[in-house]
A and B are shown apart, each in its own frame.
Chain A
């Protein structure tokens, strides 16, 4: 019985998809955790500027020379690397780590060609990067961090994120394909 219970806990934590209340609570805890340990607001997209600085070291562009980018290898670069490793760990602990060339149902619905998919996701990424810097942040900083901190920018940006997402997805899946 004891062994069975242990297996169930392992399955719950590492194998089965987390129920919304469990995943949501832990992600919600991360915001105060980050303040209490590092005294920093959660945020990811600024770190992509650090990556740009690594790719184009001598850039004179003003937006890549703000105080956030005075140093290149700041905490943000390592935070980004950590997210990649943490997600890899999640798959490894589930016992099913596989490299996949599919992205959910995208390939089955929109296109079967890998290069077209690649171009599609690259274009989506460009909008994400450009939009995040224009809005001053991504859903980490604006939605998960900004709204709980009662920042007006968090509410406005989140409304924008969802408006854009609703438009794009319904255009693609209900009208075009």
Chain B
């Protein structure tokens, strides 16, 4: 996939999967955090398990990607912000019953209130950029 617009297709696949698997369902997220219905936990565990097996095979056999290069696994660095940001994110997750990926699925499904979550996320990202110089000075996250 050389051109950016081609990513509409994997995006659509991912959005379709999120929606059909139940990740765009506000009630299922509330049930998960209240321990009243753990469907999403099992879904998440299954996803992690399947991906873990296949990623370990990729790490072992180093196949080529369709881009022509060998697959290069890129993970995010661990720093103080990982936990602090994670907890802040979690509070927002609990409030909105969505995350940056699933809110897009909610939008596609025609849930009007998702528009506010979506706008809020973009605003929060901008807010982060505004205070980033101060955060950097205190080491969350490091430059």
Contact = CB atoms under 8 A, between A and B. Distances in A.
Contacts of B14: 30, 42, 79, 82-83, 86
**Interface class of chain A by DSSP:** helix
Nearest to A157: B86
B110 A91 contact: yes
B91 A151 contact: no
A89 interface: yes
Given A132-B89, A153-B78, A140 B120 contact: no
Contacts, number: 507
Given A121-B95, A157-B82, A160-B86, A27 B18 contact: yes
Contacts of B111: 100, 103
A73 to B, nearest CB: 6
A90 interface: yes
A20 B15 contact: no
Contact of B18 (A63, A87, A130, A148): A87
Nearest to B63: A36
A85 B12 contact: yes
B122 A27 contact: no
Contacts of A35: 55, 58, 65, 71, 73
A166 B45 CA distance: 17
Given A121-B120, A131-B91, A165-B32, 16 more contacts: A20-B39, A32-B58, A35-B65, A47-B100, A88-B15, A103-B97, A121-B113, A132-B99, A133-B125, A135-B89, A157-B82, A160-B89, A164-B87, A168-B95, A169-B30, A172-B94
Instruction: List the 8 shortest-distance A-B pairs measured between CB atoms, nearest first.
Output: A82-B11, A164-B90, A125-B120, A160-B86, A129-B124, A24-B46, A134-B85, A23-B21
Interface of A: 13-14, 17-18, 20-42, 44-45, 47-49, 51-52, 55-56, 59, 61-64, 73-91, 97-106, 117-154, 156-170, 172-174
